[in-house]
């Protein structure tokens, strides 16, 4: 990918016409796309856009814009490092299988996250072709000269009122031109439209293998209804990426001028899922039970949903994750009230507001003055009720930190109240 067609920015950064090949056509396409999605991805500004909390990649009119997360106070943050942070989070959250990409991977200059998806998809399909594309039964309706299968009376009357020698029938055929291959074919055509680099030849070779298959459009509902059996299970990864490509591709966004593919992730939700998954992976199942998005009824038809709930045989902890940079470890009033409600509802004695760390230090566990009564050994007893602000650094000394160390650090934050004197 040429550097002229590749822009890397950070969340909340501004991008204006004339910067790094960003044109008025690109801006118009982005604005139209944003309007169709409730203006949640960025904010239009004079002759440009300011990105919001969504990270990922946008490809529009031959230009790739990569939006990276940032928890760094540097004026010139390391883009390659924060690209690795995003890729690692996507990998941990199972949005991408980065480990299967070629070893050169992102070390190649000007390689975007989108190319990682493309290369993974191409490799998966190449493996399928090498093993041999599977055949499946599918239903076919057509007008023919012999009666084969089941006669469709309504269509036969409509089609053959004059041509009595024909029969409109429904029957089964056993071949390779079935829905699974049609989905992959559609995704390959999208990739071929968007690629202009070393992967292009590989896509062309794959398109030759799929060229005889039916061209169809697919919707989210069709992907939901798609079921894989033992024979087609090996197609799961390629179909996952196909779904992502097909449902996020907009071929006629700007009166047909610019084609757009968007892979955008809400950084707050990604941070929440990342923390949950590393805790789930590295916790001692004999000591802790960890659940995410434990939704419960709260008031009338409203619900309450903390990000992460952790239980052991003695107490319950609540973690609320927030991907934003805060200068102080003094929690906001609204956040304190929210955590207080979590503590009461989930019978938790300690809760944490967990932010990304730059140079901040954790606060101590602050005590709520209200002490709820809880039933214990047939008597009601007062219990302590705490909350703190915690910070977690995903990078250190210019490198990613190991997820096991991060998980251990979070568990230590939960226990630190025991060392405080009140």
Confidence of residue 53 (pLDDT cuts 50, 70, 90): very high
- Position 185 scores a pLDDT of 95
Residues 261 and 305 reside in one and the same domain? no
If asked whether residues 262 and 329 sit together in one domain, one would say no
Same domain, 316 and 244: no
For residue 374, give the CATH number of its domain.
3.40.1350
**73 and 23 in one domain?**
yes
Residue 243 and residue 110 share a domain: yes
In a domain, 200, yes or no: no
**Are 292 and 402 within one domain?**
yes
Same domain, 397 and 331: yes
Q: Is residue 218 part of a domain?
A: no
* Domain count for the chain: 3
Q: Is 219 a domain residue?
A: no
**pLDDT tens digits, residue range 254-296?**
444 567 899 999 999 999 999 999 999 999 988 899 999 778 8
- Tell me which residue range forms the domain holding 404: 283-419
251 or 108: which carries more pLDDT confidence? 251
164 and 146 fall within a common domain: yes
Task: Give mean pLDDT, residues 78-104.
Answer: 80
The residue-averaged pLDDT of 228-251 equals: 90
225 in any annotated domain = no
Q: Cα separation of 15 and 19, whole Å? A: 7
Same domain, 111 and 245: yes
Residue 186 lies in a domain: no
Per-residue model confidence (pLDDT) at position 194: 86
**Residue 389, in any domain of the structure:** yes
pLDDT at 327: 87
> Residue 104 has what pLDDT?
42
Q: Which of 153, 175, 197 is the last residue of a domain?
A: 175
Residue 168 lies in a domain: yes
114 and 243 together in one domain: yes
Residues 151 and 250 in one domain: no
Q: Kindly state whether residues 292 and 372 are assigned to the same domain.
A: yes
**pTM of the full structure:** 0.85
With a pLDDT cut of 70, the percent of the chain lying above it is 91
Residue 228 CB-half CA count within 13 A: 15
Q: Spell out the residues 6+ positions from residue 129 whose beta carbon is closer than 8 angstroms to its own.
A: 206, 209
Domain annotation covers residue 343: yes
Boundary residue ending a domain (206, 231, 266): 266
Q: Average per-residue pLDDT in the chain?
A: 87
């Amino acid at each position: 990918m040429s550097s002229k067609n590749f822009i890397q920015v950070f969340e909340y950064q501004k991008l204006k016409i004339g910067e790094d090949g960003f044109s008025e056509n690109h801006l118009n396409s982005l604005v139209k796309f944003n309007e169709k999605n409730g203006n949640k991805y960025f904010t239009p500004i004079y002759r440009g856009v300011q990105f919001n909390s969504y990270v990922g990649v946008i490809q529009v009119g031959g230009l790739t814009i990569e939006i990276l997360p940032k928890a760094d106070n540097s004026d010139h943050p390391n883009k390659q490092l924060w690209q690795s942070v995003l890729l690692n989070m996507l990998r941990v959250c199972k949005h991408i299988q980065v480990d299967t990409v070629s070893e050169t991977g992102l070390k190649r200059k000007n390689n975007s996250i989108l190319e990682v998806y493309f290369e993974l998809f191409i490799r998966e399909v190449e493996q399928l072709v090498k093993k041999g594309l599977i055949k499946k039964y599918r239903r076919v309706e057509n007008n023919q000269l012999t009666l084969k299968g089941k006669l469709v009376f309504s269509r036969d009357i409509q089609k053959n009122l004059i041509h009595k020698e024909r029969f409109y029938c429904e029957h089964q055929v056993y071949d390779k031109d079935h829905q699974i291959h049609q989905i992959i074919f559609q995704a390959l055509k999208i990739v071929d439209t968007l690629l202009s680099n070393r992967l292009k030849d590989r896509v062309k070779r794959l398109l030759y293998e799929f060229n005889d298959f039916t061209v169809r459009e697919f919707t989210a509902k069709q992907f939901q209804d798609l079921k894989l059996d033992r024979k087609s299970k090996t197609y799961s990864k390629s179909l996952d990426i196909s779904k992502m490509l097909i449902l996020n591709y907009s071929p006629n966004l700007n009166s047909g001028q610019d084609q757009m593919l968007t892979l955008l992730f809400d950084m707050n939700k990604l941070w929440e899922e990342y923390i949950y998954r590393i805790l789930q992976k590295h916790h001692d199942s004999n000591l802790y039970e960890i659940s995410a998005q434990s939704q419960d009824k709260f008031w009338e038809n409203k619900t309450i949903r903390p990000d992460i709930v952790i239980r052991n045989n003695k107490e319950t902890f609540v973690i609320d994750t927030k991907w934003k940079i805060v200068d102080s470890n003094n929690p906001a009033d609204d956040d304190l009230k929210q955590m207080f409600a979590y503590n009461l509802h989930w019978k938790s004695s300690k809760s944490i507001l967990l932010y990304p760390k730059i140079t901040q230090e954790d606060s101590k566990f602050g005590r709520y003055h209200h002490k709820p009564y809880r039933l214990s050994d047939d008597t009601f007893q007062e219990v302590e009720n705490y909350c703190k602000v915690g910070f977690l650094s995903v990078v250190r000394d210019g490198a990613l930190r190991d997820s096991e160390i991060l998980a251990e650090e979070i568990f230590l934050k939960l226990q630190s109240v025991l060392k405080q004197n009140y």
